[in-house]
Amino acid sequence: MAAPDSSAPAPPTPPTDPAVAMLRLLGGFQLSQALYVVARARVVDLLADGPLRVDEVARATGLRPEPLRRVLRTLATEHLFVRDEDQDSVALGPLGHTLLSNTDDSLRDLALMWMETHYRPFAHLWSTLHDEVPAAEHEWGMPFFDWLAQEPERVAGFSAAMSSMMRAVRRDALHSLDLTGVRRVVDVGGADGTALAAVAERHPELRGTVFDLPHVVAAAPALLERAEVADRVDTEGGDFFAGVPAGADAYLACFILHDWNDEQCARILARIHEAAAPGARLFLVETVLGAGAAPGVGALLDLTMLGMLTGRERTRGDWNTLLGGNGFRVDGIRETAGPMCVIEATRT
Ligand SMILES: C[S@@+](CC[C@H](N)C(=O)[O-])C[C@H]1O[C@@H](n2cnc3c(N)ncnc32)[C@H](O)[C@@H]1O
């Protein structure tokens, strides 16, 4: 009989046994922490050029070899790594590259942020289903964005995670924006400018403003410089519940309204409505529950919203009602090759 090919990824386990499928789901919290360990220690980066012995990985990362070996073995069953037990070596598996540092589709910053901020609050989900207070507020005694603002490293980690998510799952949506006739766009809640820089790079005539809370948008000028769009894209700090920059012919809000409940969204939309002239375009990059190339992403993020904030993911009907009731006509909901959709609307 031929020896099994140790470089081939293990075949996925079919969920034929409901108890086994449930065990894997229930154990998800342990897998998340194991993923955090290898992401934080940059184990994946070490393997980018080829397999290494586990003791070499341990030496390079400062992790203890014996537990590291066990973590790698477990994550090999999740296709992160391929283990060669005879050689005691490890190589990247089919999912490994998603945790590399500094690649375009890296989710490493998200792995760090979710485990360092979102993990503990989720222990309070039970309470949220009784009192409507987000689990994050049970953990910290204050809303998520207030807690984030307390430490510059938290803000930087969150913006890095958002921009990595932007590149990994939202690029298709940003590339599909129809900006015909648009001269100036305001990115409402544009964080460190990653999204607007990507849009401006594709539209050389476009001018724009990244608008976010002052301590968040402070990171944007450097990023816009690096992207060589700083001569066309400026930044402004402020609170979108109080007002947004006026006079643009398009407003972009990428992953913003899903953070807030309908009443709070109505207040944000009212500020955009005041700032925009009739006929101005509004582009929302969001998930649409039940739609898009990967509907499971919206369902997962809906849980994130439930635990961390007052928001929710929304269906087509929800988006039509929310925008239609707040001075915007929905022109269409565009599905993209990725999990996100673009909701296109006009200020009436
Ligand atoms: C989920 S992040 C999305 C960031 C970015 N648009 C993206 O797609 O990666 C939400 C953003 O809303 C910003 N934000 C939260 N409250 C805000 C407020 N009151 N005024 C302005 N921006 C706010 C946060 O700082 C954060 O950058």
Q: Where are the domains of the chain?
A: 20-99, 160-347
For 256-306, what is each residue's pLDDT tens digit? 999 999 999 999 999 999 999 999 999 999 999 998 888 889 999 999 999
Active site residue 124: no
What is the pLDDT, as a whole number, of residue 1? Answer: 34
pTM here? 0.90
| Dihedrals phi, psi of 316, to nearest 5 degrees | -55, -45
What is the pLDDT, as a whole number, of residue 12? Answer: 55
Q: What is the number of residues in the chain?
A: 348
Q: From start to end of the chain, where are the E strands? A: 52-53, 81-84, 89-92, 184-188, 207-212, 233-237, 250-254, 281-286, 328-335, 341-347
Within 10 A of 200 (CB to CB), how many other CB atoms are there?
A: 25
For 91-133, what is each residue's pLDDT tens digit? 999 999 999 998 878 999 999 999 999 999 999 999 999 998 9
| Dihedrals phi, psi of 211, to nearest 5 degrees | -120, 125
What is the pLDDT, as a whole number, of residue 170? Answer: 78
- pLDDT of 5 > 80? The answer is no
Which of 216, 254, 265, 283 has most ligand 1 atoms within 8 Å of its beta carbon, as the pocket-test mutant? 216
The set of residues, in sequence order, having a beta carbon less than 8 Å from that of 130 and lying 6+ positions away, is none
Q: Which atom of ligand 1 is nearest to the CA of 258?
A: 1
What is the pLDDT, as a whole number, of residue 337? Answer: 86
pLDDT band at 13 (very low <50, low <70, confident <90, very high): low
Residues having CB closer than 6 A to ligand 1 are 145, 162-163, 166, 189-191, 195, 212-213, 216, 239-241, 254-256, 259
What is the pLDDT, as a whole number, of residue 28? Answer: 96
Please give the mean pLDDT across all residues of the chain: 93
Residue 127: which of 138, 141, 114, 140 has the closest Cα? Answer: 138
Residue 326: which of 273, 256, 255 has the closest Cα? Answer: 273
Report the C-alpha gap between 268 and 84 in whole angstroms. 54
Which of 256, 271, 272 has most ligand 1 atoms within 8 Å of its beta carbon, as the pocket-test mutant? 256
Chain position carrying tokens 């140790």 = 6
For 63-96, what is each residue's pLDDT tens digit? 999 999 999 999 999 999 999 999 999 999 999 9
Burial letters 57-95, b for 16+ CB under 10 A, else e: bbeebebebeebbebbebbbebbbbbbeeeeebbbbbeb
Q: Which residue, by CA, sits nearest to atom 24 of ligand 1? A: 189
Q: What pairing do the DSSP bridges indicate for beta strands 52-53 and 89-92?
A: antiparallel
CATH of domain 20-99: 1.10.10.10
Q: Which residue, by CA, sits nearest to atom 20 of ligand 1? A: 239
Q: Which fold has domain 160-347?
A: Rossmann fold (3.40.50)
Report the C-alpha gap between 96 and 106 in whole angstroms. 10
